[in-house]
Amino acid sequence: MADLKLTDVAKSYGPVDVLKHIDLEIEKGELIVFVGPSGCGKSTLLRMIAGLEKITGGELQIDGQVVNNVPPAQRGIAMVFQSYALYPHMTVRENMSFALKIAGKSKSEIEAAVNRAAKILQLEPYLDRLPKALSGGQRQRVAIGRSIVRDPKVYLFDEPLSNLDAALRVATRIEIAQLKEQMPDSTMIYVTHDQVEAMTLASRIVVLAGGGIAQVGTPLELYERPENTFVAQFIGSPQMNLLGGRIVGTGQQTRVELPEGQGTILSNYPTKESDMGLEVEVGIRPEDMIATDGPDYAYEGEVEIKEALGEVTLLYFKKQKPEHEPVIAKLPGIHTDVRGKRMRMTAEAEKVHLFNNGQSLLYR
């Protein structure tokens, strides 16, 4: 049975629909990450699951129970926010014990729960310190500790790392991954802006856009088989190149002509005879671009900008029309003297994505 089930869930503020037709099943033990552009409703959806926002349509079930009208405290969930809001005058131990004391738990129960959480989070050396004597990452761990002691069914994280600096973000992200491994049965939902967090932590990612779900899948499914151009360009950095094309050969492999690149390319996306001549968008990730001297190329252009990042070099090709996005190639290693040079690019057929009107030809 799904741990969480959302059926046709909707949210509107007065006449404004923020979310609609959200259908999602989350299994026990999953770590689900919500991503999407700013304002797409990630936090709103999380807050509706928490019970902090009213659901204006549809049904939310937790553990088989409809909880639309159940108050937050009775939903068996715990929420960790980006601002950790610890009580400054209480020690780590007192901060972590507080909710259990309020709930009337016995001293021994509280001690056992706090010790267990402190062990999982490696907070044992800090239990008698005040929050001000802790680093940002340690404070965030105490905030997580306060939810672990309550042994909730579902953990909700709203951008828990966004107040930390880059190095600490990486360290704390790894700690959250380890925390999840130590609590394999806990269900977690995590909102983030950070793609790397989403890709590394998630068992499945939910991409939200335009008030709905653009795709749900494992990180690799979204990366390798995006259902639409939105997900294709949202996942991966720099974003996937999209070039206008026309199908000129069909079958198990499809050949596409690319007027913008003056070449043609093969894709492993299969097509039917009736697709002959179909206008498509051809998606090639920058990291899948291969430089070639051969006659069989997809794109020829002049390198306008070069960014050397050490292990890779980004090449930005000169746009042929102002309304085009620049085509970007991410080549391994260091490339000198490429600015102003004309180069030909291609990609392996298995890395070439095809879309029609924004929808992948794989999912027709």
Ligand X SMILES: Nc1ncnc2c1ncn2[C@@H]1O[C@H](COP(=O)(O)OP(=O)(O)OP(=O)(O)O)[C@@H](O)[C@H]1O
- Kindly list the residues in this chain that would bind ligand X in the complex (CB under 6 A): 13, 18, 36, 38-44, 193
133/135 Cα distance (integer angstroms):
7
Provide, rounded to whole angstroms, the least separation between the CB of residue 209 and ligand X: 10
Nearer to ligand X, 36 or 263 (CB): 36
Question: What span, in angstroms and rounded, lies between the C-alpha atoms of 85 and 67?
Answer: 27
Q: Are 3 and 153 in contact (CB under 8 A)?
A: yes
Nearer to ligand X, 53 or 221 (CB): 53
**Minimum distance of ligand X from residue 193's CB (angstroms):** 6
Measured between alpha carbons, how far is 326 from 241 in angstroms, rounded to an integer? 8
Closer residue to ligand X, CB minimum distance, 194 or 300: 194
Q: Which is nearer to ligand X, 134 or 207 (CB)?
A: 207
Whichever of 16 and 102 has its CB closer to ligand X, that residue is 16
CA–CA dist 140, 130 (Å, integer): 13
In angstroms, give the least distance from the CB of 202 to ligand X. 16
Angle (CA) 45-46-52 rounded to 5° is 95
CB of 36 to ligand X, least distance (A): 6
Q: Which amino acid is residue 31, in one-letter code?
A: L
Least CB distance from residue 19 to ligand X, whole Å? 8
CB of 43 to ligand X, least distance (A): 3
| Token pair of 278 as six digits | 């179909």
Looking at beta carbons only, is 193 or 255 nearer to ligand X?
Answer: 193
List CB contacts of 12: < 8 A, sequence separation 6 or more: 18, 20, 56, 57
Report the C-alpha dihedral over residues 3, 7, 13, 18, rounded to 10 degrees: 90
Q: Are strands 31-35 and 204-209 parallel, antiparallel or unpaired?
A: parallel
Whole-angstrom Cα Rg for the chain: 25
